[in-house]
Chain A
Amino acid sequence: MEFIELFILAINALRTNVVRTVLTMLGVIIGIASVIIIMSLGSGATQSIVGEISSFGANILTVQAGRNVRGPGGGGGSTVDTLVEDDVKALALLPNITSVAGLVSTNKQITYDGTAVQSSISGVEETYAQIHELSLSQGSFISESQVATRSKVVVLGDQLVEDIFGVDAQVVGESVRIDGKSFRIIGVITDSSSALAPLSTVQKVILSQNYFNSIEVLVDDSELVTSAETAVSDTLLLRHEINNVNDADFSIRSAQEMIDSISSVTGTLSAMLAGIAAISLLVGGIGIMNIMLVTVTERTREIGLLKAIGAKQRDILWQFLIEAVVVTLMGGLIGLSLGVLVTFVATKFLSIPFVVSLSSILLAIGVSTGVGIVFGYYPAKKAAALQPIDALRYE
């Protein structure tokens, strides 16, 4: 018998009990839908995070003061005093390096007219704006001369402006107080909630320290980041007279490294959720097997009749197996559509990119077919093995 004929037979058989068919599919629908949602939201979220990190600069190396502190914010407000101006100068001499800049950061209260907001403040140089591709919505960025003269000027993130001054406030020329000192606002940057001031001002006026919390190294090309990382590390180890990398008093982070670690986190998370989805598919599969066994029992006489008119064991086997696969495949396709729909709505709300990969679609189809074959085989085999006379006499 041809495959297409078996397919039509299966559809006809399933049509006679639509409610049962749909209920049978439910486990597979839910299982496949969750797989699709998890995979799609997972890759969407990863893509959006990776995109953010990459825009941060794929060719930036950040040297953080302190021993191998991992994780976001690990070096913020560090009191390790090992990264100094001479380190910056030495690193600037390395090949394939565009620029090197020291960075200090701290947390201070910013006050204006009775309103106080806690915020992170970084001391930066003029190049910072280009390195981090900052865009200004008002005013201008910190200039070289302001760094040289330790000007008490500040650039605020737009969210910070909103918190302090309210929506759409024009704030350039206004003054805020930071750590009790008056700073003139010279610009506003978009998509930020922190404050930036000249490096020397934060370092000397606010923190009274000579060292940096971190050093940012801009590499000529993102392809050269890995080799540059080694060079930076070697240089600093030599300068700090440390023999073993494991004893380093600094740690180097690159965008790629962050992407890798985030990918591995989302990967683990996805794997865990996929495990839950797999359990749901297993339950769905057992449901299918159960219903197929009932179906075989109900249709025992029919099987006897088919054998009497010439059906072979494999004809019966295929008929019931295809029937099971059609159920799971239809369940899979419904689950796929449902999953895509939910993902679409969810990405709109979470404002992450809507990605449904071909691999997740193929996985859905493959898995649902597989569930049908695995769990439909036993009932189909049982049907095929029925002796014609026993089947015909079945009451």
Chain B
Amino acid sequence: MSKTIKKANKKTTRKTIISFRNIHKSYQTGPITYEALKGVSFDIVQGEFVAITGPSGSGKSTMMNIIGALDLATSGEYYLRERLIDAYDDDELSEIRNRDIGFIFQSFNLLARTSVLKNVERPMMYGKVPKAAREAKALECLDLVGLKDKANNMSNHISGGQIQRVAIARSLVMNPAILLADEPTGNLDTKTAHEIMGFFKELNKQGHTIILITHEDDIAAFASRVIKVKDGLIESDK
């Protein structure tokens, strides 16, 4: 089964979940305006596994931050679940980040001086999940990434690979449709990185839409679709 056929199939059977229409993003640093995205358009449908690659400074993180409702585009339209992002107010954007999107960053993923379990439980605190249900759900997600036994460790007493796995567990507790990962394996050795990618692959099979940024081709190879960015524009999308 080739990737193109699979993609086509999905497009006919599944809904578009993310849609970029001519997205521009400029940063203002003093008098200088820098255009990090110069008109980007693409659609991502539910259940896709997309890798975003490109050289440093090409605008990958900028794109990811807009997708994750952490930042707003300067111009263009971004539809999330077929609704224009501008239509959501601040609280609703928080709710989207809480329920619909799970974030895994490259570093500074966990709250310091807080146990692994409390870190994983935190999104449920904001998501109004009943207190009694939280611990079980957190442990279940930690079990998925094989870290149930580290639940009571402090976040600074686990390894880099374990931190990323905890971040994955945390991103899953609210059962979001989309997982966003900005270079989640950037700080890890190849073996650990592939282990982490195994989890993403598995989660994608379970139906999560996954968008991840990476520099490395072997990591991008886990995805079913690769969007290459260069100088704020899409160079290729396949």
Residue ranges of A at the interface with B (Cβ–Cβ < 8 Å): 1-2, 5, 12, 16, 301-302, 305-313, 315, 387-389, 392
Using CB atoms, name the residue of chain A closest to B111: A302
Q: Per-residue CB proximity of B61-89 to A under 8 Å, as 1/0?
A: 00001001011000000000000000000
- Contact: B113 with A312, CB < 8 Å? no
B57 partner residues in chain A, CB cutoff 8 A: none
- Contact: B98 with A310, CB < 8 Å? yes
The answer for the CA separation of A2 and B125 in the assembled complex, in Å, is: 9
Given contacts A305-B111, A310-B127, 18 further A-B contacts (CB under 8 A): A2-B131, A12-B113, A305-B108, A306-B111, A308-B97, A308-B103, A309-B97, A309-B98, A309-B122, A309-B170, A310-B174, A313-B91, A315-B126, A387-B71, A388-B70, A388-B97, A389-B65, A389-B71
A310 partner residues in chain B, CB cutoff 8 A: 94-95, 97-99, 123, 126-127, 174
B125 partner residues in chain A, CB cutoff 8 A: 1, 5
B190 partner residues in chain A, CB cutoff 8 A: none
B71 partner residues in chain A, CB cutoff 8 A: 387-389
- Number of B interface residues at 8 Å Cβ cutoff, please give it: 27
A305 partner residues in chain B, CB cutoff 8 A: 105, 108-109, 111
The answer for the CA separation of A387 and B71 in the assembled complex, in Å, is: 8
Could you list 11 A-B pairs, sorted by A, with CB under 8 Å?
A1-B126, A305-B108, A308-B97, A308-B103, A309-B170, A310-B99, A310-B127, A312-B91, A313-B91, A313-B94, A389-B71
A307 partner residues in chain B, CB cutoff 8 A: 70, 94, 97
Using CB atoms, name the residue of chain A closest to B96: A310
Chain A interface, >50% SS class: helix
A2 partner residues in chain B, CB cutoff 8 A: 131
Pick the most buried of A1, A310, A387, A389: most chain B CB atoms within 10 A of its CB: A310
Q: B112 on the interface (CB 8 Å rule)?
A: yes
Q: B153 on the interface (CB 8 Å rule)?
A: no
- Contact: A312 with B70, CB < 8 Å? no
Q: B114 on the interface (CB 8 Å rule)?
A: yes
Q: B217 on the interface (CB 8 Å rule)?
A: no
B126 partner residues in chain A, CB cutoff 8 A: 1, 306, 309-312, 315
Q: B149 on the interface (CB 8 Å rule)?
A: no
The answer for the CA separation of A301 and B70 in the assembled complex, in Å, is: 13
Q: B202 on the interface (CB 8 Å rule)?
A: no
B108 partner residues in chain A, CB cutoff 8 A: 301, 305
The answer for the CA separation of A356 and B224 in the assembled complex, in Å, is: 74
Using CB atoms, name the residue of chain A closest to B118: A12
A312 partner residues in chain B, CB cutoff 8 A: 90-91, 94-95, 126
Using CB atoms, name the residue of chain A closest to B100: A310
Using CB atoms, name the residue of chain B closest to A314: B91
The answer for the CA separation of A387 and B114 in the assembled complex, in Å, is: 23
Partner of B68, one of A301, A308, A387: A308
- Contact: B112 with A389, CB < 8 Å? no
Give the Cβ gap from B205 to chain A, nearest Cβ, in Å.
Answer: 24
A308 partner residues in chain B, CB cutoff 8 A: 68, 70, 97, 103, 105
The answer for the CA separation of A305 and B127 in the assembled complex, in Å, is: 15
Using CB atoms, name the residue of chain A closest to B97: A310
Give the Cβ gap from A324 to chain B, nearest Cβ, in Å.
Answer: 19
Give the Cβ gap from A273 to chain B, nearest Cβ, in Å.
Answer: 42
Using CB atoms, name the residue of chain A closest to B66: A389
B127 partner residues in chain A, CB cutoff 8 A: 310
The answer for the CA separation of A307 and B93 in the assembled complex, in Å, is: 10
The answer for the CA separation of A5 and B123 in the assembled complex, in Å, is: 13
- Contact: A306 with B113, CB < 8 Å? no
Using CB atoms, name the residue of chain A closest to B99: A310
Using CB atoms, name the residue of chain B closest to A1: B125
Pick the most buried of A309, A388, A389: most chain B CB atoms within 10 A of its CB: A309
A302 partner residues in chain B, CB cutoff 8 A: 111-112
- Contact: B113 with A16, CB < 8 Å? yes
